Structure 1
């Protein structure tokens, strides 16, 4: 059962889907989950598939398009603002607490790719989330300041920020906005040196495998200053005391981020490695998703 819902993050209306358990009974109280989509993604893609499967395990689950993206409101379009993304998740929790069939004391959060980073980030300061799980986690701040766990030289980071500053000035003067792709936009951009994350990202987001008309696969270039200023991991040792489940593929080039989060966490934690899976394979390949879902359902049973 899926219901179309909406809630607000300040003045922005957020478009969501509420996945309900089979044999749903509005007189009962259910544990509830908030699901956060990957960067460039929307609720109808992998996060929606996970939400549907988790609802089959008895969880009321809400997924949504982030502010400025997909079917949600907000200007400028395709802004990737990590602070707003974290607030979106808080607002989703607000929404769940208004539902009479949700047990507000049994809420968790999960995310895929960048959504996993945002899930970790929001759980550090949102105590209504009693547990947090990630799939192929890729924190946006840490990821933007380097590539796949390798920090870019400071001079390169400053060059990027200089470029963003110039673009902001140009747009303030009436210039058209510029956008950057999250994954290659054409097959011609891919060669033997292209990382699996980007190669398979093209296959998921740019082909019928996973593409959706609301998923543009790009972001506003002037998002970069906000991304550079953000950290999903900085308060893990002190503030992330809730149980943490990190799911990553053994062949994922982003597994380094799950390893880092695991090492930083001082609370209850588990790193669940899916043998043979890559980053994108955990989005939709049954062989691997069929391992991730039962693990998450078992994990969130603590709620």
Structure 2
């Protein structure tokens, strides 16, 4: 059962899907989950697939398009603002608390890819989330300041910020916005040296495998200053005391981020490695998703 819902993050209307358990009874009280989609993704893609499967295990689950993206409102379009993304998740929690069949004391959060980074970030300061799980976590701030766990030289980071500053000035004067792709936009951009994350990202986001008209696969270039200023992991040792489940593929080039989060966490934690899986394979390949979902469902029974 899926219902189309909406809620607000300040003045922005957020478009969501509410996944309900089979044999749902509105007179009962259910544990509830907030699901956060990957950067460039929308609620109909991998996050919606996970939401449906988790609802099958008895969890009321809400997923949504982030502010400025997909079917949600907000200008400028395709802005990737990590602080707003975290607030979207808080607003999703607000929404769940208004539903009479949700037990507000039994809420958790999960995310995939960048959504995993945002799930970790929001859980550090949102105590309504009693547990947090991630799949192929990739924190947007840490990821933007380097590549796959390798920090870029400071001079290179400053050069990027100088470029963003120039573009902001140009747009303030009437220039057209510029966009950067999250994944390659054409096959010609892919060669033998292309990392698996980007090669498989093309296959998921640019082909019928996972393609969706609301998922543009790119972001506003002037998002970069906000991304550079954001850290998803900075308060993990002190503030992330809730149970943490990190799911990563053994062949994922982003596994380094799950390893980092696991090492930083001082609370209850588990790193579940799916043998043979890559980052994108955990989006939709049954062999691997069929391992991740039962693990998450069992984990969230602590709610």
Q: CA deviation at 1:289?
A: 0.0
1:9-67: CA deviation from partner (whole Å, max 9, x where unpaired): 00000000000000000000000000000000000000000000000000000000000
Q: CA deviation at 1:115?
A: 0.1
> 2: CA distance between counterparts of 1:187 and 1:111?
28
1:155 aligned partner: 155
Could you say what the CA RMSD is over the residues aligned between the two structures, in angstroms?
A: 0.1
1:120-167: CA deviation from partner (whole Å, max 9, x where unpaired): 000000000000000000000000000000000000000000000000
> 2: CA distance between counterparts of 1:292 and 1:202?
23
Q: CA deviation at 1:176?
A: 0.1
What's the TM-score, normalizing by structure 2? 1.00
Gaps of 5+ in 1: none
> 2: CA distance between counterparts of 1:75 and 1:229?
20
Aligned-partner SS, 2:73? coil
1:100-121: CA deviation from partner (whole Å, max 9, x where unpaired): 0000000000000000000000
> 2: CA distance between counterparts of 1:186 and 1:114?
22
Q: CA deviation at 1:280?
A: 0.1
Q: CA deviation at 1:222?
A: 0.1
Matched, 1:118 2:118: yes
Runs of 4+ in 1 over 4 A off after TM superposition: none
What's the TM-score, normalizing by structure 1? 1.00
Gaps of 5+ in 2: none
Matched, 1:216 2:225: no
Q: CA deviation at 1:269?
A: 0.1
> 1: CA distance between counterparts of 2:211 and 2:128?
33
1:214-259: CA deviation from partner (whole Å, max 9, x where unpaired): 0000000000000000000000000000000000000000000000
> 2: CA distance between counterparts of 1:293 and 1:39?
21
Count matched residues.
Answer: 303
> 2: CA distance between counterparts of 1:4 and 1:44?
11
Aligned-partner SS, 1:44? coil
Aligned-partner SS, 1:301? helix
Aligned-partner SS, 2:201? helix
Aligned-partner SS, 1:162? helix
